[in-house]
Amino acid sequence: MKLLTGLVFCSLVLGVSSQSWFSFLGEAYDGARDMWRAYSDMKEANYKNSDKYFHARGNYDAAQRGPGGAWAAEVISLFSAELR
Domain boundary assignment for the chain: 25-83
pLDDT digit string, tens, across residues 5-58:
666 666 666 555 555 777 878 888 899 999 999 999 999 998 888 888 998 999
- The CATH number assigned to the domain with range 25-83 reads 1.10.132.110
Tell me, yes or no, if the pTM score tops 0.85.
Answer: no
Q: Are 50 and 10 in contact (CB under 8 A)?
A: no
- The CA–CA distances, whole Å, from 2 to 32, 55, 67 equal 22, 26, 24
pLDDT digit string, tens, across residues 54-75:
989 999 999 998 888 888 888 8
Amino acid code (one letter) for 65: R
Spatial CB neighbours of 59, under 8 Å, sequence gap ≥ 6? 35, 73, 77
